[in-house]
């Protein structure tokens, strides 16, 4: 009894001590941001309106648009666990007025003897894009990210568990750090649907966990899909590695395989399990005089087997150069992308394209960010002839001004 | 100006002094280098402990290098609006300060000489160093790459240089004699420093 009472007393003292710190240290951090756009676009009917245009805002969207309304919440849970939730509203076509892009529990034990471990459980992006480094998985360089990052935001989400191990060489007096990542996930079997339906696109609209890409239609076959479903009960995986030279250069590689059964079908969402595999590599170099060079490459394929095996092979590369002068930044990026359906470049489902983006941004501090982007996409999409009776080749361009205001705090 | 004045006064009073200058491999002065000076014959005891502060402001430790005598204490306040979680896994002093804002923890005491690398477990880019020394004389070089000490008793001294960006194959050190007059030592690095951390990126990056 006495032992128990002593334990209770020591527990009470411990709780009192921790609660004295908790109100300040363990408070939840929050962020709220509103991003409004002024758009001038000559784009074809957007993929978001079930067209085959490559831009988020097409020629019917000129004027003031909602870029993104975002709320983020980070709740420490004890000393080494925390919960992260990202919620956004993009447009009124989505299934839910506000929805989640990421929601996960993170375990961050203290580094020991030069080694650091991180574990994430929930829904989040794989560590792949060195471009989407800013809060909300946005790119700080441009408004629309590269074709590769646009696709990741559209179709890829890890809903599962991921572990990372870092060797922190730079904290041991060396010039390099190394990282290995592995994840097992489910609920990403439809990944690949969008590449097959509308190909690559250049946009900053991330698909929400319970949302959809494209407008609702009575004909579900033609409507765009919901992407985060488990269809075949087979988990997928990815493995990745990263090498960092001080804080100047990062090389990241990733192999992704959702291990879907291409013959499996989900009647309720009218979609297949798309067996999607890709390899991705990215290199980012930053210099002391504020230049950034970022190159990315991705190559993979996706398959379904409704009555015979159908294969889409895809690859894309991009190169970005950015220069900062204090709070001002200029960035230019070139993208190239290609999809080949059944080894036939002229088939519906195949495409080639390239894009140029030039962006200026002004980041004066904690609250405001202003960005102006000119983007031009050239694409040759044979499906435009078959499904839309339009020429296969299109040049689309847009000028977009983004004004973002952000508030943050803790409670 | 103050140190120059002090030196002038010291020279005037005929008190022995020590002057160390450190140059990079290209001859340019190395500022911010940590100098520790120990007497080789009849060792002198460490300097008196101090109470130091290393703050956290806009996701950076300030100062990013702190040199203190053994048995000194350092307070790690957090002046940011976001929480920090300070840790060290260096063998000379391992400690952890669980998530906090403001100044909730007592100062951390450093009893063993060595280089202690600090990090924040929330913001991976934050890095700083506490150099704990048993030397009687220590300090950091100024913008001209120079460091001076006054009231240095006669003897032969070993001078060691440390800098977070040093890239030398072996320790940068030298010896100097102080014999009733000013002792001077010039040291030069053999290789270029490693690149300094990029400090100017907006803090909304690195999601």
**Are the C-beta atoms of A126 and A254 separated by less than 8 Å?**
yes
What pLDDT shows up at residue A25? 66
Instruction: Tell which wins on pLDDT, A387 or A71.
Output: A71
Question: What length is written for chain A?
Answer: 411
What pLDDT shows up at residue B203? 77
What pLDDT shows up at residue B9? 45
Q: From the CA of A60, how many Å to the nearest CA of chain B? A: 33
Of A41-45, A47-51, A269-273, B166-170, the range with the lowest mean pLDDT is A269-273
Which chain B residues touch A if contact means CB-CB below 8 Å? 81-83, 85, 87, 89, 96, 98-102, 104, 117, 119, 121-122, 125, 127, 194-198, 200, 202, 204-207
**Are the C-beta atoms of A176 and A170 separated by less than 8 Å?**
yes
- Of A198, A216, A32, A144, give the one whose Cα is nearest residue A402: A144
pLDDT (mean) for A23-43: 89
| H/E stretch holding B182 | none
**Are the C-beta atoms of A57 and A46 separated by less than 8 Å?**
yes
Which parts of chain B register pLDDT below 50? 1-13
Examine the predicted complex and report whether its ipTM is higher than 0.90: no
Domains and their CATH numbers in chain A: 25-410 (2.40.160.10)
DSSP string, A265-289: EEGGGTEE--EEEEEEEEEEEE-TT
Instruction: Tell which wins on pLDDT, B200 or A126.
Output: A126
Q: From the CA of B47, how many Å to the nearest CA of chain A? A: 27
Band the pLDDT of A223: cuts 50, 70, 90: low
* CB within 8 Å of B112: residues ≥ 6 apart: B70, B92, B93, B132
Query: How many Å apart are CA A99 and CA A33, to the nearest integer?
Result: 15
**Mean pLDDT estimate for chain A:** 91
Query: How many Å apart are CA A357 and CA A366, to the nearest integer?
Result: 26
What single-letter DSSP state applies at residue B27?
S
Phi/psi of residue A328, nearest 5 degrees: -105, 145
For A242-255, the pLDDT digits (tens) are 999 999 999 999 99
pLDDT (mean) for A20-35: 77
* Burial class (CB within 10 angstroms; exposed 0-12, middle 13-18, buried 19+) of A391: exposed
Q: Would the CB atoms of B81 and A408 count as touching at under 8 Å?
A: yes
Whether A364 has its CB under 8 Å from any CB of chain B: the answer is no
- Of A356, A344, A355, give the one whose Cα is nearest residue A383: A344
Q: Provide, as residue numbers in chain B, all residues whose Cβ is less than 8 Å from the Cβ of A111.
A: 87, 89, 119, 121
Q: Provide, as residue numbers in chain B, all residues whose Cβ is less than 8 Å from the Cβ of A369.
A: 204
List, in sequence order, every residue forming a beta bridge with A163; answer none if it has no partner.
Answer: A119, A182
Query: How many Å apart are CA A379 and CA A391, to the nearest integer?
Result: 11
**Are the C-beta atoms of B60 and B83 separated by less than 8 Å?**
no
What single-letter DSSP state applies at residue B46?
P
Q: Could you say which of 3.30.460.80, 3.40.50.150, 1.10.3720.10, 2.60.40.420 is the CATH number of the domain covering B51-133?
A: 2.60.40.420
> Which alpha helices (H) appear in A95-165, and where do they start and end?
147-155
What pLDDT shows up at residue A7? 47
Q: Tell whether the model's pLDDT for residue A228 goes beyond 60.
A: yes
Among B98, B198, B204, beta carbon nearest to A79: B98
**Are the C-beta atoms of B58 and B79 separated by less than 8 Å?**
no
Query: How many Å apart are CA A283 and CA B199, to the nearest integer?
Result: 20
Question: What length is written for chain B?
Answer: 207
* CB within 8 Å of A87: residues ≥ 6 apart: A70, A71, A72, A73, A98, A99, A100, A101
Query: How many Å apart are CA A298 and CA A317, to the nearest integer?
Result: 6
Identical fold between B2-15+30-42+137-188 and B51-133: yes
For residues A172, A177, A182, A188, the Cα torsion angle rounded to the nearest 10 degrees is 140
Q: What percent of chain A has pLDDT over 70?
A: 92
For A151-206, the pLDDT digits (tens) are 999 999 999 999 999 999 999 989 999 999 999 999 999 999 999 999 999 999 99
Q: What percent of chain A has pLDDT over 90?
A: 82
Fold (topology level) of B2-15+30-42+137-188? Immunoglobulin-like (2.60.40)
Count of other CB atoms within 10 angstroms of residue A381: 28
Residues 253 to 272 of A: which have CB under 8 A from any B CB? Answer: none
Q: Tell whether the model's pLDDT for residue A86 goes beyond 70.
A: yes
For A128-146, the pLDDT digits (tens) are 889 999 999 999 999 999 9
What pLDDT shows up at residue A222? 58
**Which sequence spans correspond to the domains of chain B?**
2-15+30-42+137-188, 51-133
Q: Provide, as residue numbers in chain A, all residues whose Cβ is less than 8 Å from the Cβ of B87.
A: 110-111
Q: Would the CB atoms of A110 and B96 count as touching at under 8 Å?
A: yes
């Amino acid at each position: 009894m006495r032992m128990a009472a002593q334990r209770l007393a020591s527990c009470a003292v411990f709780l009192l001590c921790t609660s004295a710190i908790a109100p300040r240290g363990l408070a939840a951090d929050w962020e709220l941001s509103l991003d409004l756009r002024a758009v001038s676009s000559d784009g074809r009917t957007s993929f978001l309106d079930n067209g085959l245009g490559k831009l988020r805002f097409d020629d019917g969207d000129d004027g003031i648009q909602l870029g993104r309304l975002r709320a983020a919440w980070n709740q420490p849970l004890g000393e080494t666990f925390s919960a992260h939730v990202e919620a956004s509203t993009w447009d009124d076509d989505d299934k839910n007025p506000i929805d989640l892009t990421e929601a996960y529990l993170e375990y961050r034990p203290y580094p020991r003897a030069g080694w650091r471990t991180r574990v994430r459980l929930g829904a989040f992006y794989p560590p792949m894009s060195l471009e989407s480094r800013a809060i909300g998985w946005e790119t700080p360089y441009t408004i629309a990210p590269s074709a590769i990052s646009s696709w990741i935001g559209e179709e890829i989400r890890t809903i599962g568990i991921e572990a990372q191990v870092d060797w922190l060489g730079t904290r041991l007096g060396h010039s390099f750090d190394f990282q290995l990542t592995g994840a097992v996930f489910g609920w990403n079997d439809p990944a690949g649907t969008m590449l097959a339906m509308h190909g690559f696109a250049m946009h900053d609209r991330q698909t929400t966990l319970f949302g959809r890409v494209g407008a609702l239609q009575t004909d579900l076959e033609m409507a765009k899909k919901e992407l985060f479903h488990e269809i075949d009960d087979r988990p997928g995986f990815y493995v990745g590695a990263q090498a960092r030279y001080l804080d100047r250069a990062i090389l990241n590689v990733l192999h992704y395989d959702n291990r879907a059964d291409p013959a499996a079908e989900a009647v309720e969402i009218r979609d297949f399990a798309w067996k999607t595999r890709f390899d991705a590599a990215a290199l980012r170099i930053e210099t002391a005089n504020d230049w950034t060079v970022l190159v990315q490459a991705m190559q993979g394929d996706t398959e379904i087997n409704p009555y015979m095996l159908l294969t889409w092979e895809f690859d894309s590369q991009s190169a970005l150069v950015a220069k900062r002068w204090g709070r001002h930044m200029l960035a230019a990026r070139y993208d190239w992308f290609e999809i080949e359906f059944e080894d036939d470049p002229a088939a519906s489902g195949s495409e080639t394209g390239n894009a140029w983006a030039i962006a200026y941004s002004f980041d004066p501090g904690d609250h405001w960010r202003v960005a102006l982007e000119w983007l031009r996409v050239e694409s040759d999409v044979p499906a435009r002839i078959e499904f839309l009776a339009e020429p296969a080749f299109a040049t689309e361009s847009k000028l977009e001004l983004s004004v973002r205001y952000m508030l943050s705090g803790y409670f | 100006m103050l140190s120059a004045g002090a030196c002038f006064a010291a020279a005037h009073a005929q008190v022995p002094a020590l002057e160390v200058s450190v140059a990079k491999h290209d001859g340019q002065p190395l500022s911010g280098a940590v100098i520790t000076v120990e007497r080789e014959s009849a060792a002198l005891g460490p300097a008196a402990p101090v109470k130091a502060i290393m703050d956290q402001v806009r996701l950076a430790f300030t100062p990013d290098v702190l040199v203190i005598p053994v048995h000194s204490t350092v307070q790690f306040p957090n002046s940011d609006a976001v929480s920090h979680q300070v840790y060290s896994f260096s063998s000379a002093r391992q400690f952890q300060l669980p998530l906090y804002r403001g100044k909730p923890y007592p100062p951390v005491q450093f009893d063993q000489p060595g280089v202690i690398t600090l990090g924040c477990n929330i913001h991976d880019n934050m890095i700083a160093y506490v150099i704990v020394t048993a030397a009687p004389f220590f300090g950091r070089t100024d913008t001209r790459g120079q460091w001076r000490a006054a009231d240095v008793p006669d003897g032969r001294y070993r001078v060691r240089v440390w800098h977070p960006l040093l890239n030398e194959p072996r320790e940068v050190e030298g010896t100097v004699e102080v014999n009733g007059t000013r002792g001077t030592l010039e040291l030069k690095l053999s290789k270029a420093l490693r690149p300094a951390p990029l400090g100017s990126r907006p803090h909304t990056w690195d999601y």
